């Protein structure tokens, strides 16, 4: 029988589900994550699997990563794991390193400081996260389905927020008062839409209405966070469903404002279908990649696909291959237009902007070659040959239903990667390059940012980098 956790500090009841009452099994948990959990337990601490790991196991899916929380403090965690380091200034997190660059993140349970009675409901999250209880940690999380704990000693699932019921009912619900939780961190709106799209869940009415009311607050978030969240949605395998929900909530127009007019004019339905068809192709490739584990999609392709229906119309790009000076003019115009409307708002690197422009302007030249598999020698030699082949293959699948050849998207061996340099795949981890005048990132990993507006930071005032319209 499930046990009630009465006398909780919030006055709400928590529930403990025994092993027989939940589907989380240790054989489905990553071996290294289990090792971390058991080492914590053997040292006398509590170890919990938290967040997306528990949610996905509950849904019978393979979790992407396994995050762990504990009542041990960062210094105590470090002593237990020699192969670890502490990151973060606001809230210290310990990363434990394993083979093949695997990292398991272990954090001390946090207090729900954003819920402090003294805190103004309409203020953004203050920078004073402190250590807390299991219950406090549950209430500071984003969605009820992301707030469950799997406790390793008794093999129980602990639920303070009704997450188990929402998992059973297929509901996405923000933890706590949705107005307040969104105001404190507007990125939670994107997270709600993401998980609804991914799990095919319905967004609870109160959460939905709060998103509609507060969507403009996305402008308070650091650009780097928005860009990273958007990339997660594009490569998450449910980008089509995400786009449909993002359009319905209006969040889409805050990220891609130029679509607002396009999708609501007389041609709107056609453009919407075109956009969704491109994203369906992306989702198919991601799904195939999950099976084979060999597919890698670069940032330029991920952004280019949802931008294409707009770019085609904005710059009147036709199927006709433009050559010579005309080609140069079109390149310049498309690059400048993309920069102004999208790239500079999301602080994309110059390399990404150049690659996206190249994909768009050269797509007519690649369309025919892709049809018959015959390429002129000069085209083959171009540095952008592989990237354009991938992009045009996606467009052909979306437009004429010709399935894109998955081998185009396979992770190249070191040898063949040398021959196709247009996009550096590792750029995906350098998204948050500091804007010190240089546009290209060089070895800067956003996860290790200690800047006040870093990963979990918010702008205090409404300075608007994302939406400088």
Question: Nearest to residue 360, comparing CAs of 382, 409, 327, 406?
Answer: 327
Query: In terms of CB distance, is 191 or 390 closer to ligand ATP?
Result: 191
The phi, psi pair for 382, rounded to 5°, reads -65, 145
Q: Cα(202)–Cα(260) distance, rounded to whole angstroms?
A: 24
The phi, psi pair for 435, rounded to 5°, reads -90, 65
Q: Where are the alpha helices (DSSP H) in 293-380?
A: 299-314, 324-338, 350-372, 377-380
Query: In terms of CB distance, is 184 or 195 closer to Mg ion?
Result: 195
CB of 62 to Mg ion, least distance (A): 12
Clarify whether 142 is annotated catalytic: yes
DSSP state of 154: T
Annotated catalytic residue, options 56, 67, 137, 283: 67
Site stretch for Mg ion (CB under 5 A), options 12-20, 63-71, 121-129, 339-347: 63-71
CB of 426 to ligand ATP, least distance (A): 20
DSSP state of 343: I
Annotated catalytic residue, options 56, 142, 228, 233: 142
CB of 146 to Mg ion, least distance (A): 9
Question: Nearest to residue 249, comparing CAs of 330, 192, 292?
Answer: 192
Taking CB under 6 A as the rule, which mask of x and - marks residues 24-63 in contact with ligand ATP? ---------------------------xx-----------
DSSP state of 61: -
CB of 314 to ligand ATP, least distance (A): 32
Residue 67 interacts with ligand ATP (CB under 6 A)?
A: yes
Question: What residues does 174 pair with on adjacent strands?
Answer: 143
Site stretch for Mg ion (CB under 5 A), options 31-39, 47-55, 201-209, 346-354: 47-55
Residue number of the CB closest to Mg ion reads 52
Clarify whether 65 is annotated catalytic: yes
Annotated catalytic residue, options 28, 65, 321, 405: 65
Q: Report whether 355 contacts 387 (CB < 8 A).
A: yes
Query: In terms of CB distance, is 10 or 420 closer to ligand ATP?
Result: 10
Using alpha carbons only, give the angle 300, 283, 277 rounded to the nearest 5 degrees.
Answer: 85
Residue 188 binding target from Mg ion, ligand ATP, none, CB below 5 to 8 Å by type: ligand ATP
Q: Cα(158)–Cα(15) distance, rounded to whole angstroms?
A: 6
Site stretch for ligand ATP (CB under 6 A), options 24-32, 141-149, 242-250, 395-403: 141-149
Query: In terms of CB distance, is 32 or 179 closer to Mg ion?
Result: 32
Taking CB under 6 A as the rule, which mask of x and - marks residues 142-161 in contact with ligand ATP? x---xx--------------
Interface residue with ligand ATP, options 136, 159, 166, 185 (CB under 6 A): 185
Interface residue with Mg ion, options 65, 151, 339, 405 (CB under 5 A): 65
Site stretch for ligand ATP (CB under 6 A), options 180-188, 253-261, 390-398, 446-454: 180-188
Residue 64 interacts with ligand ATP (CB under 6 A)?
A: yes
Q: Classify burial at 227, counting beta carbons within 10 Å of its beta carbon; exposed 0-12, middle 13-18, buried 19 or more.
A: buried
Site stretch for Mg ion (CB under 5 A), options 57-65, 173-181, 211-219, 227-235: 57-65
Q: Report whether 17 contacts 164 (CB < 8 A).
A: yes
Q: Report whether 467 contacts 256 (CB < 8 A).
A: no
Question: Nearest to residue 242, comparing CAs of 306, 330, 166, 324?
Answer: 306
Q: Report whether 138 contacts 110 (CB < 8 A).
A: no
Q: Report whether 105 contacts 129 (CB < 8 A).
A: no
Question: What residues does 107 pair with on adjacent strands?
Answer: 69, 93
Contact residues: ligand ATP, CB under 6 A: 51-52, 64-65, 67, 141-142, 146-147, 185, 187-188, 191
Rule CB under 5 A: which residues touch Mg ion?
Answer: 52, 65
Residues designated catalytic = 65, 67, 142
């Amino acid at each position: 029988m499930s046990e009630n956790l009465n006398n909780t500090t919030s006055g709400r009841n928590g529930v403990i589900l025994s092993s027989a009452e939940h589907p989380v099994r240790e054989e489905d948990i990553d071996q290294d994550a289990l090792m971390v959990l058991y080492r914590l337990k053997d040292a006398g601490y509590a170890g919990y699997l938290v967040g997306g790991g528990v949610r996905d196991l509950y849904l019978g899916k393979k979790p992407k990563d396994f995050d762990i929380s504990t009542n041990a403090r960062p210094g105590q965690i470090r002593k237990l794991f020699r192969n670890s380091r502490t990151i973060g200034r606001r809230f210290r997190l310990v990363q434990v390193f394993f083979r093949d660059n695997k990292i398991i993140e272990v954090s001390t349970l946090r207090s729900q400081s954003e819920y402090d009675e003294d805190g103004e409901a309409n203020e953004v999250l203050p920078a004073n996260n402190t250590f807390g209880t299991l219950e406090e940690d549950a209430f500071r999380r984003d969605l009820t389905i992301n707030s469950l704990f799997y406790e390793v000693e008794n093999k129980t699932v602990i639920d303070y927020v009704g997450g188990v019921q929402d998992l059973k009912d297929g509901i996405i619900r923000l933890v706590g008062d949705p107005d307040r939780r969104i105001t404190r961190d507007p990125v939670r709106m994107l997270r709600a839409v993401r998980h609804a799209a991914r799990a095919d869940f319905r967004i609870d009415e109160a959460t939905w209405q709060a998103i509609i009311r507060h969507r403009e607050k996305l402008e308070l978030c650091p650009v780097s966070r928005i860009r990273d969240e958007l990339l997660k949605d594009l490569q998450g395998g449910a980008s089509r469903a995400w786009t449909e929900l993002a359009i319905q909530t209006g969040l889409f127009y805050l990220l891609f404002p130029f679509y607002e007019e396009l999708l609501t004019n007389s041609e709107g339905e056609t453009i919407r279908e075109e956009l969704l068809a491109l994203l369906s192709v992306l989702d198919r490739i991601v799904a195939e990649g999950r099976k084979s584990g060999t597919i890698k999609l670069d940032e330029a392709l991920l952004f280019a696909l949802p931008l294409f229906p707009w770019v085609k119309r904005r710059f009147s790009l036709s199927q006709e291959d433009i050559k010579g000076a005309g080609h140069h003019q079109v390149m310049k115009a498309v690059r400048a237009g993309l920069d102004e409307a999208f790239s500079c708002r999301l602080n994309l690197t110059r390399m990404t902007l150049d690659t996206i422009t190249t994909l768009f302007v050269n797509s007519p030249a690649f369309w025919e070659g892709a049809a018959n598999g015959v390429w002129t020698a000069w085209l083959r030699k171009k540095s952008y040959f592989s990237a354009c082949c991938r992009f045009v293959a996606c467009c052909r699948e979306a437009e004429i239903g010709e399935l894109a050849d998955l081998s185009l998207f396979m992770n190249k061996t070191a040898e063949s990667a040398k021959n196709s340099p247009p996009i550096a795949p590792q750029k995906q981890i350098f998204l948050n390059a500091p804007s010190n005048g240089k546009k290209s990132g060089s070895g800067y990993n956003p996860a290790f940012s200690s800047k006040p507006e870093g990963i979990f930071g918010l702008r205090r005032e409404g300075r608007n980098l994302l939406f400088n319209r």
